[in-house]
Structure 1
């Protein structure tokens, strides 16, 4: 049995001029297009001078689970299905993953029309190490869940890339400064490839203070990985350093933060050392 091919097509993240020739051809030829936003798809096609002849179906976060089965049926019937999201690559913090899994399970070939990506674009201009990195998507919206996630990532040595809403950027940067240390280097990439593109680099503390005034636009956040410990590393030594500061009148929370900063250690590690020493 001959099946169709599932095609994941990257859409411009800003300027329509970034669309590839292959994307234009794929939109022209596709018999079925699954679009995150059908209106945006038609607008993009108009800007590219493409007259769509495909059957267009909505495929977004709301209907992804239920719509995937029907799209697999199209593929098994021999029709190619092109997936396109509002911007960037389908499946990367956008609909597409579940459909790829379903297609692979049925032996359907999966192809890609590569193109713009906010993840790699932000990483490239951040000024932070690019040899090893990880993509963490959107941070949790709730403060407690966000703090726990960042606590887990405090020791991550690779450069980290996040997406974030401009409304939550200040809170996210403040939470990162608390978990990773206010001095950790980072870059906020706003409106990449668009008219008002802005790359702001600094420490997490500096960027949190800047974002507190309000930020607009699409945000990609790049954060440096955990540095190699430069000072004390033994838990007993860290706990002793905190005890010295407490005896001098420094509140425990501040003492832990100071010792963590001075020794390049995550606050969670210092806190655990203090708890263990007091048992």
Structure 2
């Protein structure tokens, strides 16, 4: 499930609040509001007493079983109304629902939720977010080998821009499908053909941006693998003297010395591979950055 996409211009604390509350934002989109509307109902005690008094007054006009029935009914009715009041009681001003609602209204247009995208666009956006998560979660990014500062600025901006284009594409596709329903005469088909080509070309352009981001993520993953491999080989090299001593003591040098020597060569190759992987990632970043 894709996360809420927030305009980088929205303050970071508000952006995080909106991202954490996608289901609430979807409820707001359907028209639900946590804000109180109209006058408040009387307190449950007043309701209960009022209804009970009315029922008791009615019970005085009858006797026997009917009177007992009215009294029981009065108690049940008062209980039901109390529960209704509690269910409709306004949420406190600092509740999550009301805080999110106020910020959603304040930054209307500054965030996009799942309902803003058609199914094809949701798939593309999921690919974008997975690629970004892989980049931010990489060791080479955490170690500053990828210019993590630029990543923290550029990647959210790229996510927002792609998402914004996908919402426009989704809306135009929906409108186009609506207009294309029914019998299409040759004249209508001819008139719609350029529009369909425009939609296809726009989608191709957006897909190219998504693929560029995924390509960058793959280079980052390759750099991470090279970094992990280098760490493992360096750990082995740290214990190399122990192996060399054992070989010397057992007289096995003529069997093992060449193989042990290759370990240092492997470490040097891994360092070069890491350097090349990071360089490739930087090149992919520059391409992505235009």
Specify which structure has the higher proportion of helix: 2
Greater Rg, structure 1 or structure 2? 2
Higher strand share: 1
Verify same fold: TM over 0.5.
no
TM-score where L is the length of structure 1: 0.26
User: Which structure carries more relative contact order (alpha carbon 8 Å, separation 6+)?
Assistant: 2
